[in-house]
């Protein structure tokens, strides 16, 4: 089991524009000829072969996903069917009043508890953290094994950073594994424990 974080990021470090817009960043999900279905019938990708292989691995190996409440609210909980197909653990101090709408979602109060819950749900599969703030907190708690970045060739100038306000920085990473895709370069780094 690996605890990892994966985000699509602009060259200047943002995962969304200041209004949570992702249009400039997510173009690579439609930049190829390989059609890839997801667990959510409303979401599919058309990516290049290298990106397809990477996404297929994420889809097959993710046993639970950790999200922040803000992202959960923006996506309306992905209709209780995240494209990864895995159950979701949401970090929040206040679960929604209608939490029963999302039976595949677990609401917990802090990042360490969320990662622990996700590991239990995932079994032998991986845990993927899909929120920037939650990823930063998990790194500071020493809970992240790998950092993945799909780096897209755009400069947003401002927006929501992937990693901001790290309290335990610097966090050192090993040299990256690089997969060149169409409209995205996929980087993966092991977090160093020394």
Number of structural domains the chain divides into = 1
DSSP letters, 152-193, are ES---SSSEESS---SS----BPPPEEEE-SS-EEEEEEBP-
CATH code, 119: 3.40.430.10
**114-142 pLDDT, tens digit each:** 999 999 999 999 999 999 999 999 999 99
Q: Is residue 150 pLDDT above 90, yes or no?
A: yes
At 40, is the pLDDT very low, low, confident or very high (cuts 50, 70, 90)?
confident
Count of residues in the chain: 194
Q: Is residue 194 pLDDT above 80, yes or no?
A: no
The Cα–Cα gap between 128 and 146 comes to 10
The Cα–Cα gap between 118 and 86 comes to 10
Indicate the pTM of the whole model. Answer: 0.93
Residue 69 sits in which domain range?
3-190
What is the average pLDDT score of the chain?
Answer: 94
- Of 157, 129, 143, the residue nearest 67 (C-alpha): 129
């Amino acid at each position: 089991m690996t605890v990892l974080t994966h985000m699509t990021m602009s060259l200047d470090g943002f995962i969304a524009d200041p209004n949570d817009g992702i249009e400039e960043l997510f173009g690579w999900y439609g930049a190829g000829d390989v059609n890839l279905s997801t667990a959510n019938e409303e979401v599919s990708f058309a990516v290049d072969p290298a990106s397809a292989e990477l996404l297929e691995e994420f889809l097959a190996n993710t046993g639970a996903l950790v999200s922040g409440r803000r992202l959960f609210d923006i996506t309306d909980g992905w209709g209780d069917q995240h494209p990864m197909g895995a159950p979701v653990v949401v970090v929040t101090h206040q679960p929604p009043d209608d939490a029963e709408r999302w039976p595949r979602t677990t609401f917990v109060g802090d990042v360490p508890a969320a990662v622990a819950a996700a590991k239990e749900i995932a079994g032998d599969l991986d845990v993927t953290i899909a929120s920037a703030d939650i990823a930063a907190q998990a790194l500071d708690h020493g809970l992240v094994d790998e950092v993945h970045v799909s780096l897209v060739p755009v400069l947003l100038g401002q927006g929501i950073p992937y990693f901001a306000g790290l309290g335990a920085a610097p966090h050192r990473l090993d040299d990256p594994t690089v997969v060149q895709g169409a409209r995205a370069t996929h980087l993966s780094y092991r977090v160093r424990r020394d």
